[in-house]
Structure 1
Amino acid sequence: MQGKYYIGLMSGTSADGIDLALVDFTSKNEKPRLVASFYQSYSSVLAEKITSLYQPGNNEIDRAFHLDVELAHLFAQAINALLSQENLNSADIIAIGSHGQTIRHRPSADNPFTLQIGCCQTLATVTGIRVVGQFRRKDMALGGQGAPLVPIFHQQLFAHSVDANFVVNIGGIANITFLPEQGSSKSVLGFDTGPGNALLDDWFTKNHSSSNEKFDKSGAWAATGKVNQALLIQLMQDDYIKAAAPKSTGREYFHLDWLEQQLTFFTENSYSQHGAITDEELNAVDVQATLLVFTAQSICDAIKSLTTQGKVYLCGGGVHNSALVEALKTSLNTSNSAFEINSMQALNIDGDILEAMAFAWLAYAFDHSLVSNMPAVTGASASCTLGSTYLP
């Protein structure tokens, strides 16, 4: 194979932009080395095009596959910008590992499917670089959830650790990877715990329509509200939150309509019990405060169901929400548990680019015929090498 580096490309369910990681896998200590990274934000118009496809809607096939090609061109522009930044050209790249943009993920349907757009063939042709993509489909063909895919990469990063470690990625959806302590009989596990930033962002945007901000920066707004315990209990009773792993979800499940339904049910239930809703009436900021604790508690309950002590490393956009991080610390460290909580920066790893690095590794694994799914994580019937290749 010509070239020296792999590029990993990730666009998450928050639909905020493109993360690129330039990775070298020739290091003598066998650990991947992040050479450079690049981020390209999406315009509000493009973000709306993406998020409008999370739910069935009018003319969605035309809209989805126009966007499929549009995103491929945007991915190519971002890759060319990264190459220019590093004074490289296409010949220096072995392959692009592209996750693409998930717009629908239905692992529990009668005929399970997943759809990531950002046409791999277009991307390969426009950049002149081979692309490895569509990583989720073979795992799903083997009966798996097709997600999460990154735990096997996390296992590489923590190969020499003796402690129990968790990697908690808080994107639009939150997911965890559990890496048992050395010598343990437990298996590596990983699954989506529920919402990460998704509901917080949606509710903030709904109630700040005139703001330039699309998210609650550092959780400042949520911090001024009061948690409604009755609503929190109701949210924690959601079928997905209570379901056992393997499981995965997405913005097609946890979205604003889901939240509105929860709030309607809460109000109606309060009225039926009390004959009035004055005591339970919710204002917007209290809903935000409750959503923040709901997000933290759903993550923490998943962690504590696996062990009562260990090291927790946070990554993803949610790391920058200081109120959420404090809620996680409060919920994790109780009289019955003891966890050390850090960001991935504590390991000299940029947590904002970790998932993009994982997709560079998945392309590397494809080229070297390495097993890259984990049946214990996804529920697939067999181990396999994930991905398909697209030539320029």
Structure 2
Amino acid sequence: MADVIEIAVPFDEIEARRERVEKAKRFETPDRVPVIPAVAHRVMIPRTGISFRDYYRDPETMLRAQILGQKWLLENVRTDSHSITGAWAGAWTDFQNTFEAGSLGVEIHFPDDDIPWVGEGWVKDDADLPKLEAIDYVHTGINARQVEFRRRMIEVADKYPVRFQGGPVFYPGANPWLTNTSDGPFGVTGDVMGQVEAFTAVYERPDFLREVMRIVTGKMIEWLDFCVDEMGLERPVNFAWTDDLAVSMSAESFREFALPFNQQMRYHFDGRASLHMCGRSDHLLEIFRDDLKIDEFQGFGYQVNLDRVAEVMGGRVVLIGNVNPMLIQSGTPDDVREATRRVIEKLKDRRGLIIQDGSNIPPDAPLENVNAMMEAAELYGRYD
């Protein structure tokens, strides 16, 4: 048996975190408001001594880096995160926000010292639509690489046993997740067309825009169904997605262009629906609540007005956010504690609150600033 990767967090503590988070998500009363900073791989991978260049070239290196990165997170970040299996938290095929565009013919760039990024869009006119429609979205591009990486992770899973203190040994690589989320119909359309071109098309070529979005949405659902089968997920199937680019639309334009395709994706699944949206989304909150019927508003933008989100969603939608990540990066621990206190003060009494940044901890944010969110929750977030 390979040497066990020990995580210096008691198993009982992991279970206490799980219970705290699950109570919050059921609008029950945990002992305090949970805190789950969005510490992603731009923060964790450099802590492992593994380069991004190697991370994206080799599936076993990706698996090892994810486990070691999550070990660092759980031992150093004050968090109610309670698992290192599943998407965003351990063994998964991590190609960030590029896998959809990178499976629809857009070039993806892999820098040596950072996560990948999406190149220039190529769908410009009617002649490109049959080419887009003809793409084998599941078996080519980044998605083909995801499948390859997942199968290789499974092959080497027994080399990486993991254990919390006092808990059982488990193998994160035994059933790694494919990326079964989405950057949303309008967001991915912006990738394949170009973002400026997509916004321009709202006014100048609406029929063309709808046709691109129709094709893109169908391809994304095809991949998501493949993921359900490949990973052996059981019904009901949960769905987490974003459509960040669409936050810049008016409510009227969102209803006309983005909503129908977001509804098509959201209602394709029968489990919990978790929507992430960066930016100021105040004008879209009722749409998210009533038309998309989301269960969670995850990592919602720090620009969102807390009084408004409390009025529209409080007690009905789990709210996960929204401390300013730039404040976490450049402020003081006192600044972060005060910002967290304001979120707790506005949203705590309606239940269903989980403190998070809004959204994503910057790679160079001081650890004491990240941990100040938990300190504020312990000071101000008790349900006594």
TM-score, normalisation: structure 1? 0.35
- Higher helix residue share: 2
TM-score, normalisation: structure 2? 0.35
Task: Tell which has more relative contact order, 1 or 2 (C-alpha 8 A, sep 6+).
Answer: 1
